[in-house]
Structure 1
Amino acid sequence: MERINCDLLVIGAGSGGLSVAAGASQMGADVVLLEGHKMGGDCLNYGCVPSKALLASAKAAHGPAQTAAFGVPPSRPQPDYTAAMGHVRQVIETIAPVDSQERFEGLGVRVIREFGHFVSETEVEAGAHRITARRVVIATGSSPLVPPVPGLDTVPYLTNETLFDLRERPAHLLIVGGGPIGMEMAQAHVRLGSKVTVIEGQRALGQDDPEAVSLVLDALRAEGVEIAEGAMVSRVSGQAGAIEVETRDGSRFHGSHLLMAVGRRANIDRLNLSAAGIETAGNGIRVDDSLLTSNRRVYAIGDAAGGLQFTHVAGYHASVIIRSALFGLPSAAKTSHLPRVTYTDPELAQVGLQERAARDIYGAKLEVVRFDFRENDRAVAERKTDGFIKVMVHRGRPVGVTIVGQQAGELISLWSMALANRLKMSQIAAMVAPYPTVGEINKRVAGAYFSPRLFDSDLVKRAVQLVQRWRR
């Protein structure tokens, strides 16, 4: 067995692990990277990249039928599902070199294509290698959670790890789970010609602002997606091409394919964490604000840390621990400025507190200000007027933002910066946005915050009148 000593051992070559490995190596650290499956992890191969590529195909298929209002005769193309999945594969292949073993070896990282597990508090074994590192980063990501539904073990089903292997369009796709993955894939498939039914045990997109969610669900239903809420699955039966899902209230849903999209679980089972004295909590590894585990030589980041499960969160965690692991400087991860987006049409984006939580915390001292897309000239020109931005403000500073509508995922970045740097609404209002752009919405909502203070204030009016009376 080969024994290796290094400064930093990174377990997992997903987005977070790759960011740590690249940054640390380029700063002069001796880095070893372990990956027992695919370079790039879930995001590149099964998650963010393929899902957004398929959504792009679906958007292209949907667009030609929506052109009448623009003076262009509409048409109804027949989507080629096989070609759409080919587009997905091409997108993955285009991005893959950035995450490849060859690139990281070129950066000076030693890449070992084996799964790793702890054999002591300071040692990790991976295949024929035993590695001792000054610091270890667990960045193993997560996998689809498949609940123990009676009958599921006898029925063929899909997860996000197998969905993109399809080449023939599902005639009727049943999706169990109404979270972001389920709703995005529902809209993608209905636009590509499938019949789609979403079966959700509680409330679809239940972690998001109900007012914003209502707008999204109305749009999906208008496109033909059947959404059954409060429908807890009790049994699955059937065979390929003829699957039945039964719910506790006795309802039965029939389809040709079944996609399980009920959540994700951290990939930590292989790690033998007990050998390293690493404690778990909830759906991942217990970490402190510095992302350190109960073993003070070991960090956990991204999905493995059991918090928000987003690629950009893993990347943020990577930047946090580089400071601590390489330079020994204090560093802590925050969550208040971490945005999330559901890439349906319309998009739904959130950062910070939602309205209900903000009211619970700040009570009568909270102000909620909003601006509707229908008042944005660019949205009007493009007939994308369904949507709004809602900003929760406490003592002149935003504490949370919800956006639903065109380009919500692009618009939310400004507010992440505002929360990260504790900017005031006056600083947002001072921004100049080019006209006409959807981005004006961010400035206009800040204007809506100040309008009552300026235009409905008797004190302001008296001051203006006094100045005008005495000014020459």
Structure 2
Amino acid sequence: MNRIETDLCVIGAGSGGLSLAAGAVQMGARVVLVEGHKMGGDCLNYGCVPSKALIAAGARAQAMRGDAFGVTGAEPQIDYAAAKDHVAQVIATIEPHDSQERFEGLGVQVIREFGAFISETQLQAGDHVIEARRFVIATGSSPFVPPIPGLADVPYLTNETLFDLRERPDHLIIIGGGPIGMEMAQAHVRLGCKVTVIEGDRALNRDDPEMAEIVLTRLRAEGVQIIEGAQAAQITGQAGAISVETSDGQRIGGTHMLVAVGRKPNIDRLNLAAAGVKTTRAGVEVDAGLRTANRRIYAIGDVAGGMQFTHVAGYHAGLVIRPILLGLPAKARADHIPRVTYTDPELAQIGLTEAEARAAHGDALTVARFDFAGNDRAIAGGKTDGLIKVMVVKGRPVGVSIAGAGAGELIGVWALAVANRMKMGAIAAMVAPYPTIAEVNKRAAGAYFSPKLFDNPMLKRVVRAVQAVLP
């Protein structure tokens, strides 16, 4: 058995673990990185990167359809396997940045084995026993497969297997109407598949219903069938002929099925009980500083039981490096974390939705709205389906919802504002280039201030008085 002593042992080479390992070793710490599967984790291999590559292929196909701006459209000739080759090429292009070779070049000792705790201070990975001053669990999450009767007896896809599929599905049934389900629904209908989404609640139910409806209206118009308020109750069939019966008696037949109902934390292999680490159904139990019940062990990213986004894992990595390497206090917050659904139009959110803000702040809340139809660049590009809502309390934004073209880019300004507790005046003072979609942010701030300026009798009296005495 090979025994290793180190300052920091990071378990999991996904986005959070890689960010932490790279930062820590470059700051002078001895770092061991343990990964039993693929470097880059879910994001690079099965999540953010391949899904956005496939979405790009779908967008390319969609751009060719229909007549617009004096250009005659044509039905695209789609090679589904070639689209998947594009996905693989994108992964391969990014892969070296997350590779074992790169991290060993930085000075990290990389062990390609699954790790399990054997005591409160030791982790075993293959024939290595690692004793570290601090451990960080960054093992991420995996697709949750619900116990639907019959599901185990039919072939189904998850995000871990979808991108290996080479033959285009004739009819893709998607169980789950969350962000992953809706992104893949639109990508596949644009690539020539028939698509049906089955959702037990309402589709995109985490988001503001008014904003979600802008997205869902577009998906329906493109041909996605969305069945809401109906659970998948029974699944039967075989490869190429799958049937789903819903709780309200509907029966949907398709050739392929994607299960996209949520995620589960990757904790089963870790033997956390041996380390004195407590867990919940959501993942590893941590305090505000992301520290577990064992003071030597932290958890970051999806496995920490909070928001499951790559950028959250990166944020957590930057946070825990402070107490681990410098002994400085750190406390995680979530109010400044944005989220984006990469449909077309996109759907972005930071902080509270309108309903959440009204429940929390009552009459102190002001909601500023601006419609994309009032933006000149959106008009010029035919992208007027969109809306921004800013929830404001005492002059500060506490939540922003955006549905529309480039919503994922637009939310960045508000992420800056919320993270730094800026007031609406800072957004109003910004000069956005004309004509850009980015002007909707400034116009939303203007919508907040307009009633204060133009519906203010006192201000009007002051202006008249000043005009009366000016030469």
TM-score, structure 1 normalization: 0.99
Q: Which residue does 1:136 correspond to in 2?
A: 135
Report matched runs for 1:383-394 at 5 Å: 383-394=382-393
Q: Which residue does 2:4 correspond to in 1?
A: 4
Q: Which residue does 1:155 correspond to in 2?
A: 154
Q: Which residue does 1:350 correspond to in 2?
A: 349
Instruction: Report the Cα distance in structure 2 between the residues aligned to 1:453 and 1:283, rounded to whole angstroms.
Output: 45
Instruction: Report the Cα distance in structure 2 between the residues aligned to 1:248 and 1:231, rounded to whole angstroms.
Output: 6
1:470 maps onto 2:456 in alignment: no
1:38 maps onto 2:46 in alignment: no
Instruction: Report the Cα distance in structure 2 between the residues aligned to 1:21 and 1:112, rounded to whole angstroms.
Output: 13
Instruction: Report the Cα distance in structure 1 between the residues aligned to 2:373 and 2:281, rounded to whole angstroms.
Output: 43
Q: Which residue does 1:232 correspond to in 2?
A: 231
1:20 maps onto 2:37 in alignment: no
Q: Which residue does 1:364 correspond to in 2?
A: 363
Instruction: Report the Cα distance in structure 2 between the residues aligned to 1:228 and 1:155, rounded to whole angstroms.
Output: 21
Q: Which residue does 1:54 correspond to in 2?
A: 54
Q: Which residue does 2:115 correspond to in 1?
A: 116
The amino acid of 2:87's aligned partner reads V
Secondary structure of 2:451's aligned partner: helix
Report matched runs for 1:96-107 at 5 Å: 96-107=95-106
Report matched runs for 1:248-263 at 5 Å: 248-263=247-262
The amino acid of 2:292's aligned partner reads T
Q: Which residue does 1:79 correspond to in 2?
A: 78
Instruction: Report the Cα distance in structure 2 between the residues aligned to 1:459 and 1:286, rounded to whole angstroms.
Output: 55
Q: Which residue does 2:278 correspond to in 1?
A: 279
Instruction: Report the Cα distance in structure 2 between the residues aligned to 1:58 and 1:168, rounded to whole angstroms.
Output: 15
| Residues 72-94 of structure 1, C-alpha deviations (whole Å, 9 max, x = no match) | 11111121101100000000000
For residue 247 of structure 1, report the CA deviation from its aligned partner.
1.2
Q: Which residue does 2:301 correspond to in 1?
A: 302
Instruction: Report the Cα distance in structure 2 between the residues aligned to 1:263 and 1:206, rounded to whole angstroms.
Output: 13
Q: Which residue does 1:201 correspond to in 2?
A: 200
The amino acid of 2:38's aligned partner reads K
Instruction: Report the Cα distance in structure 2 between the residues aligned to 1:364 and 1:189, rounded to whole angstroms.
Output: 44
1:400 maps onto 2:413 in alignment: no
| Residues 106-154 of structure 1, C-alpha deviations (whole Å, 9 max, x = no match) | 0000000000010000000000000000000000000000011111111
Q: Which residue does 2:183 correspond to in 1?
A: 184
Instruction: Report the Cα distance in structure 2 between the residues aligned to 1:127 and 1:351, rounded to whole angstroms.
Output: 42
Q: Which residue does 1:93 correspond to in 2?
A: 92
Instruction: Report the Cα distance in structure 2 between the residues aligned to 1:170 and 1:285, rounded to whole angstroms.
Output: 37
| Residues 361-392 of structure 1, C-alpha deviations (whole Å, 9 max, x = no match) | 11011000100000000000000000110000
Instruction: Report the Cα distance in structure 1 between the residues aligned to 2:224 and 2:68, rounded to whole angstroms.
Output: 23
The amino acid of 1:33's aligned partner reads L
1:435 maps onto 2:434 in alignment: yes
Percent identity, aligned pairs only, is 68
Instruction: Report the Cα distance in structure 2 between the residues aligned to 1:455 and 1:283, rounded to whole angstroms.
Output: 49
The amino acid of 1:314's aligned partner reads A
Q: Which moved more, 1:315-324 or 1:68-77?
A: 68-77
Moved over 4 A (4+): none
| Residues 235-270 of structure 1, C-alpha deviations (whole Å, 9 max, x = no match) | 111000000111122211100001000000000010
Instruction: Report the Cα distance in structure 2 between the residues aligned to 1:471 and 1:133, rounded to whole angstroms.
Output: 75
For residue 69 of structure 1, report the CA deviation from its aligned partner.
2.6
1:65 maps onto 2:75 in alignment: no
Q: What's the RMSD between the two structures over aligned residues? A: 0.6
Secondary structure of 1:218's aligned partner: helix
| Residues 52-108 of structure 1, C-alpha deviations (whole Å, 9 max, x = no match) | 000000000000114x23111111112110110000000000000000000000000
The amino acid of 1:27's aligned partner reads M
Secondary structure of 1:70's aligned partner: coil
Instruction: Report the Cα distance in structure 1 between the residues aligned to 2:120 and 2:442, rounded to whole angstroms.
Output: 52
Count residues in correspondence: 471
Instruction: Report the Cα distance in structure 2 between the residues aligned to 1:223 and 1:240, rounded to whole angstroms.
Output: 26
For residue 282 of structure 1, report the CA deviation from its aligned partner.
2.9
The amino acid of 1:463's aligned partner reads V
For residue 468 of structure 1, report the CA deviation from its aligned partner.
1.6
1:269 maps onto 2:262 in alignment: no
Instruction: Report the Cα distance in structure 2 between the residues aligned to 1:134 and 1:311, rounded to whole angstroms.
Output: 26
For residue 393 of structure 1, report the CA deviation from its aligned partner.
0.3
Instruction: Report the Cα distance in structure 2 between the residues aligned to 1:359 and 1:96, rounded to whole angstroms.
Output: 44
| Residues 292-325 of structure 1, C-alpha deviations (whole Å, 9 max, x = no match) | 0111110000000011000000000001001111
For residue 357 of structure 1, report the CA deviation from its aligned partner.
0.7
The amino acid of 1:444's aligned partner reads R
The amino acid of 2:32's aligned partner reads V
Secondary structure of 1:197's aligned partner: strand
The amino acid of 2:46's aligned partner reads Y
Q: Which runs of 5+ in 1 are unaligned?
A: none
1:456 maps onto 2:455 in alignment: yes
